[in-house]
Structure 1
Amino acid sequence: MKISKLQKKMGQFTLQIEELYLESGKVHGLIGTNGCGKTTLSKLIQGILVPDGGRIDYEGLTPRDITMTTQRPYLLHDTVYQNLIYPLKIRGIRPDEAKMDAWLERCGLLQKKNQYARSLSSGEQQKLSFIRALVFDPAFVIVDETLSNLDPDSTELFEQLMREQQTKNKMTWLLISHQLVHVRKICDQVHFMEQGNVLVSGTPEEILLHPSHPSIRRYLADTEVSYRENEKNSEI
């Protein structure tokens, strides 16, 4: 996916990306402070927002090929199973119940298959949202802070699922996250945003371990302080 001269003004905020290339089949990390435009960019990619200018070259992808999962997922007023198969239904794909059960089993939700989805815990809802985004084998997946505030086992599960999908299907991922440990572990490329712009792109080592730009160094320092404060508060 090639993005060039992309513009979107929303109130006092302006997103303006001169150039961004999201190579297909790779896991891309998108990082930056709150309010820098990460979610706005993801909504432009999905077509939820219409750009004021510029171009997104989808390189053959259609809206049916793109999906997204968020930190606070929207679930239908229905069962866990009906939520899971919803992406298949709207695409006219007949669900294979055995395969759907395997997805649920993998996330520890099989016994809750017929339970009202919104009665799940927040962590279980995130798991359901994540596998729901994968059941139709999408080509492009946006993960917007889904790894935030998860227990270590759930985080490891999500990372394993992403690796397995890359082995099987080579999807393109856009991982929006403040969890830099996970970004470093699973991303092939990292893109740093500041004030509506993509400032620098590079490998995880270049961006997170050997940052050359002072804005990135400040961001990493602030993120480390925030991480340590959260760790301290969790012990109280």
Structure 2
Amino acid sequence: MANSERSADHVHAALSERIVAGTLRPGDALTESGIAEEFGMSRTPVREALHRLDSEGLVERGPRRAFVVRRMSVADLRDLFETLGEIEAICARLAAHRMTEIERDALTRILADDNGHYATVNARFHDALRRGAQNRTIAALLDDLNRRSLPWREASFRGSGDRIGQSRDEHRAILQAVLARDGDCAATLMRAHMASSLSAISEMLLAEAHA
């Protein structure tokens, strides 16, 4: 079972990257047999990976129930990130008031130890705020939205410009608001942070469309 899960994770990550990067275009067919042959594995983990991509909105059922790459418009992404931004803002506001000193120290250290894969650092920072909000309903909502947005959020760090540097600055500002227990400021900064992510992704999609 563990090997099957790792195989599904591998296929999911590879296909997600291709879809977001535009290597796989909207309408392209994704056949279980073809993918299984490419990755040298059985259809079971491939099927699991495709169902995960479906739940994230990256693929959909096409003719004869086969999976095809879904067309994700800027409007679709705007709706997703607008919702995500509001939930993340609520989370930041609550975390500013509810995080313990130990949790605040851990949040600070995540940014201080930012010397690895930035997408991982980004995910850890947001996850620490989610846990610090101490609200299980919000946590469940974010889990779903994160599954659907994560491939796009990671792709934004691979685009042109200095999105990583900008994101670091935004994280530091959010951290200072949380440490100051200023929930309103933390929420406002988080909402702007998510809007910046959407802007970077929109620019990436526009560049791909004209490539």
Larger RCO (alpha carbons 8 Å, 6+ apart): 1
The TM-score, its normalising length taken from structure 2, stands at 0.27
TM value normalised by structure 1 = 0.25
Higher strand share: 1
